Amino acid sequence: SDVFNSVQQLPPDALFNLKARLSKDPRPLKVDLGIGAYRDNNGKPWVLPSVVKAEKLITSDPNYNHEYLGISGLPQLTKAAAKTIIGHANFDHDRIISVQSLSGTGALHIASKFLSIIPTTKSKTVYISDPTWINHVNIFENEGFKVEKYPYWDYENKCLNFDAMLSYFQSIENGGIILLHACAHNPTGMDPTETQWRQILDVMHEKDHFVLFDSAYQGFASGSLEKDAFAIRLAVNEKLRDSCLLICQSFAKNVGMYGERVGCFHVVLPEGGNPSVSTSVLSQLNKITRSEVSNPPAYGAKIVSTILTNEELTNQWHKDLITMSGRIKEMRYKLRDHLVTLKTPGNWDHIVQQCGMFSFTGLNSEMAQRLEKKHAVYITGNGRASIAGLNEGNVEYVAKAIDEVVR
């Protein structure tokens, strides 16, 4: 009867709590720069034209149904998703084992479970960037991993703390599990350059570190799927081609399928490795999925696989990615320019140097609170603003609000 009396109450999730405060806020000018979801120029959620077309195609098929998928998910999706992330050229796709996951979070969860059952990785530390997406900590700690932070952001100069990051990777014990954001780093919006990626992956190789790529924003950062997969492709085709690595892939942001939970988890084997490993790995991944969700959700998977396999829809999707990334980029420039015009104290160039959904503005938690209380502009307490929430109608207002809290 009193078995649950000792259950400790946890604080609410910061981001979803912000969303709740925002929805209760009666001020008409309120601006949502909290949650990382794309909004159009009217501040509304955007269903991508490629998605609208794919939905029509799927639901007009006379054989359309809601049957279960197999345990590993929809094969058309997992195959096409692997090609999307790795590319088509010069890669032996037999090296990759792919299963469908509950979006990017589910892929990270499968990664943590999978690593926890492998004797050579189960007692290892997982290294995540400082700062990172908060759920990285939860996911790996839940699975019993020790989680340590590697230097990533130079808080004072608002840029990548590259030298410190590289020497950190060199200084830790060989064989560490390193989580790298493939592109559009969350929350900083600052990615390594191509030259810096080469250096990072060289150290991964020298130190025999085990790399886990989290790819939640492919195509969303630059508008180009290829450019945003640069680090992953460099790793699998060149720098780490004789190593195993993992890729967690989300279609939440780049296809705008947030609530449909479409993603994939990929295990990449070394070039020329033992082909029988694939069968064993797949059997373990299937056991994880079967015991937790039985089989992954079908609807979003059908939409994304249709987009990735129908040439006309793929082309439309490429345009949609440019629409989203282009509008966000434009808003970065508008916000920076307004702050410069207002002579807001400080340098704001980092806003245009960053990419993807977010800007790590450099505002502290008091400023973030004041933005919310006085101006109804919602950003997270660490100063992260979702640039997708800006539009022609509110960007000047937001700049003025930032100006007021900074002075």
DSSP assignment of 68-80 equals PPPTT--HHHHHH
State how far the Cα of 243 lies from the Cα of 112, in Å rounded to an integer.
18
Site for ligand PLP contains 34 (CB under 6 A): no
| Catalytic residue from among 133, 153, 317, 348 | 133
**Residue 214 is among the residues annotated as catalytic for this protein:** yes
Q: How many CA atoms lie within 13 A of 324 on its CB side?
A: 36
Nearer to ligand PLP, 250 or 289 (CB): 250
Cβ at position 102, least distance to ligand PLP in Å: 7
Site for ligand PLP contains 228 (CB under 6 A): no
Site for ligand PLP contains 133 (CB under 6 A): yes
Nearer to ligand PLP, 133 or 197 (CB): 133
Task: For the chain, give the longest Cα–Cα distance.
Answer: 64
**Which two tokens mark 330?**
């434009």
Nearer to ligand PLP, 103 or 344 (CB): 103
| Catalytic residue from among 53, 153, 197, 214 | 214
Tell me which residues in 94-113 interact with ligand PLP (CB under 6 A).
103-105
Binding-site member from 263, 296, 383, 389 for ligand PLP (CB under 6 A): 263
Site for ligand PLP contains 250 (CB under 6 A): yes
| Catalytic residue from among 53, 253, 302, 334 | 253
Quick one: three-class SS letters along 45-57? ECCCHHHHHHHHH
Q: Output phi, psi for 96, to 5 deg.
A: -115, 135
Site for ligand PLP contains 181 (CB under 6 A): yes
Nearer to ligand PLP, 218 or 316 (CB): 218
State how far the Cα of 97 lies from the Cα of 86, in Å rounded to an integer.
12
x/- binding map, residues 48-67, to ligand PLP, per CB under 6 A? --------------------
Nearer to ligand PLP, 243 or 250 (CB): 250
Tokens 């919602």, located at residue: 378
Nearer to ligand PLP, 103 or 361 (CB): 103
Site for ligand PLP contains 389 (CB under 6 A): no
Cβ at position 261, least distance to ligand PLP in Å: 7
Tokens 């629409």, located at residue: 323
Helices (H) and strands (E) in the chain, counts: 15, 13
Site for ligand PLP contains 36 (CB under 6 A): yes
Cα separation values, 307 from 32, 54, 119, 375, Å: 29, 6, 39, 40
Binding-site member from 186, 222, 354, 380 for ligand PLP (CB under 6 A): 186
**Residue 374 is among the residues annotated as catalytic for this protein:** no
The residue type found at 379 is I
Q: Smallest Cα–Cα separation from 159: which of 128, 126, 202, 193?
A: 193
Tell me which residues in 268-307 interact with ligand PLP (CB under 6 A).
none
Q: Are 99 and 110 in contact (CB under 8 A)?
A: yes
Beta strand ranges found along 240-334 (DSSP E): 245-250, 262-268
Residues of this chain that bind ligand PLP (CB under 6 A): 36, 103-105, 133, 181, 186, 214, 216, 250, 252, 263
Catalytic residues, by residue number, are 133, 214, 253
